């Protein structure tokens, strides 16, 4: 396998000429259910090499913006150490004025990414698409667990959580006592205006984190913690497309793929999602410039 998202030729994948950097972060130290998320970045990059690169919806070949795949960062260190390493790396990459799409790995990597980004942008908020609230103060004695991601992020920036359908009693109490923008899957999908309501909670600049368990397991079975009752493929795509038209997505991640040997549908769907996301984001940036 070539280490190259989309199996792109040099003219569309060199660091210098690319507008996008793919940052693979192979980490799963705090995974609490299914293991294997450290293999997620490799599986996404491998699957991406078999995609059609023409996007029929957008009538464009998104790869021509240039997509450079960085070396994978792999670690077995404690989460707080890994988070600091990621923050330092992301902060360095920000100086290159390129869009960073990170591939996980477990969800705790998002804390490090946002920490590395937040000083570069004013009016920034974080949007988490996730089946779980991730609002515990600590989990199994660890404050930087994947189950505490939203809590740690909320200590840095305003957050909005979308697609939730699983939480603990502790998290329910936290939600009652703190002003949070949280959208439960069962309630939000009963409303026709759920997309607009979510977007209205966000600032102009947005960091987008997509935990793949936000999808229903029928669409995305190979995740670290699958939950029934999730969103469908086109529901997510339609929402992300509208979001990218109305807000400036400054960076993003796709996390929690836990590849199943011999079953590549989730790997391929995650790769396709990454490519669609880049198409929507750069079409959105064109719209912002024109307006």
What CATH number is given to the structural domain containing 154?
A: 3.40.800.10
Whole-number Å distance between alpha carbons of 189 and 192: 7
| pTM of the shown model | 0.96
Domain carrying residue 25: 5-290
How confident is the model at residue 285, as a pLDDT?
A: 64
How confident is the model at residue 179, as a pLDDT?
A: 87
Radius of gyration of the chain (CA): 17
How confident is the model at residue 288, as a pLDDT?
A: 47
The domain total for the chain is 1
Alpha-carbon torsion angle 280, 286, 290, 291, nearest 10: 40
Q: Which residues of the chain have pLDDT under 50?
A: 288-291
Helix axes 79-94, 109-117, angle to 10 degrees: 40
């Amino acid at each position: 396998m070539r280490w190259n998202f989309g199996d792109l030729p040099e003219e569309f994948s060199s660091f210098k000429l690319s507008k996008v950097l793919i940052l693979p972060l192979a980490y799963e130290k705090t995974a609490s259910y299914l293991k294997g998320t450290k293999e997620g970045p490799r599986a996404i990059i491998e699957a991406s090499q078999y995609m059609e690169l023409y996007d029929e919806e957008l009538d464009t070949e998104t790869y021509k913006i240039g997509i450079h795949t960085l070396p994978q960062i792999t670690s077995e260190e404690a989460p707080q150490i890994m988070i600091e390493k990621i923050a330092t790396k992301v902060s360095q990459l920000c100086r290159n004025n390129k869009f960073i799409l990170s591939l996980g790995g477990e969800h705790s990597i998002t804390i490090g990414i946002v920490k590395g980004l937040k000083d570069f942008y004013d009016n920034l908020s974080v949007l988490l698409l996730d089946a779980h609230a991730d609002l515990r103060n600590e989990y199994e004695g660890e404050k930087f667990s994947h189950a505490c991601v939203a809590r740690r992020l909320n200590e840095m920036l305003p957050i909005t959580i979308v697609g939730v359908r699983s939480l603990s009693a502790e998290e329910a109490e936290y939600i009652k006592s703190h002003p949070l923008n949280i959208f439960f899957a069962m309630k939000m999908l009963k409303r026709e205006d759920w997309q607009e309501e979510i977007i209205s909670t966000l600032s102009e600049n947005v960091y987008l984190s997509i935990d793949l368990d936000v999808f229903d397991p029928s669409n995305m079975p190979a995740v670290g913690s699958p939950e029934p009752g999730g969103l469908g493929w086109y529901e997510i795509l339609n929402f992300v497309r509208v979001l990218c038209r109305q807000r400036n997505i400054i960076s993003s991640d796709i996390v929690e793929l836990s590849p199943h040997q011999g079953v590549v549908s989730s790997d391929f769907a995650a790769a396709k999602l990454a490519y669609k996301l880049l198409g929507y984001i750069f079409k959105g940036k064109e719209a912002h410039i024109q307006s």
